[in-house]
Amino acid sequence: MPSSQNFINHVRIPENNDWVVFILIGCIFLYVFMMNIIERDASLKDFLLQKYFDASNNLPSWIITSCVITLTLSVLISQYIPIVPKYIADLHLLGYQLNKFGYTLLVVIFFYVLRSALGFLFYQSIGDGKKWTVFYFTSTKFYFILSFLLIILCITHYYFPIDRNKIFSYYFFFFSFVFIFKVFFYLFHKNKILPEKWYYKFLYICTLQIAPLLLLWKLLFF
C-alpha cells in the first residue's frame, strides 16, 4: 500500500470581483439612459455647459447621478471598513445578511438622503426655496464628473496590483481635496447657489457639509 504523501497546492485562487463589474456596468447603463433619454441625446459638452433655464428634466438627472455616486463610492470604500456592526450583521432578510459592501451602501444612502433632506429644509427655512432647484442642478454637474473619477478608482483598486493599505492614505488626501474644491465650487459658482448672506453660507458649510461627513466617518470606521 503506497504511503500517503503531503501535497502542497501552489495554485492561487484569484479574488472574484465580478460583482464590481456588474455594478460599474449598471452605472454606465444609467448614464447612457440619462444622456440618451432624459437629456435627449445631449453631448457631454452640452450637458456640462448647459444653463439652468435651458435645461429640462433636472430632477431625474440629479437622482441618477446621485445613484451612481452612491454605488461607486460604496464599492471603493467598502473594503476599508473594519467590521459590520453586530446589530446590523444580526439582521437577516430572506436568509441573507449584509456584508461590508451592503452595510457601506446602506450608510452612504442614509448619508445622501439625510443631507439632501436637510439641504431642502435649509433653503426653505431661509425663504430661498427657489434656489434649491438651482443648487441640485449645479451640483449634478460636479458629481457627474466625480463619478467618472470614482469609476476609474474602482477599476484601479480591484483590477490592478496595488497595495491597498498604502493607497488608503492617497484616497484620504484625494477626498479631502475634493471636499475643499467642492466648497469653493459652491461658493464662487456663477449660478450663486449658496445664500447671499455670509452667515448663511457659513451655516450651510458647517451643518450640511462638514457635520454629515463626520457622521459618515463615524458610522463606517468606528
What is the tens place of the pLDDT at every residue in 43-63?
888 888 888 887 778 899 999
Q: What is the mean pLDDT of residues 33-41?
A: 88
Task: Identify the residue with better confidence: 11 or 39.
Answer: 39
Q: Report the pLDDT value the prediction gives residue 64, as an integer from 0 to 100.
A: 95
Distance of CA 68 to the CA centre of its chain: 7
Q: Report the pLDDT value the prediction gives residue 111, as an integer from 0 to 100.
A: 93
- Residue 144 above 90 pLDDT? yes
Query: Taking the model in full, what pTM does it have?
Result: 0.86
Distance of CA 118 to the CA centre of its chain: 18
Give 24-89 as a DSSP string.
Answer: HHHHHHHHHHIIIIISSS--HHHHHH--GGG---HHHHHHHHHHHHHHHHHHHHGGG-----HHHH
- Residue 166 above 70 pLDDT? yes
Q: Report the pLDDT value the prediction gives residue 4, as an integer from 0 to 100.
A: 43
Residues 123 and 83: their CA atoms lie apart, in Å, by 37
Q: What is the mean pLDDT of residues 4-11?
A: 43
Q: Report the pLDDT value the prediction gives residue 127, as an integer from 0 to 100.
A: 85
Kindly report the backbone phi and psi dihedral angles of residue 52, in degrees, each rounded to the nearest multiple of 5, phi listed first. Answer: -60, -45
* Number of Cβ atoms within 10 Å of the Cβ of 156: 12
What are 181-199's pLDDT values in tens digits? Answer: 999 999 998 888 988 888 8
Angle at CA of residue 93, ends 87 and 95, nearest 5°:
105
Mean pLDDT of the chain: 86
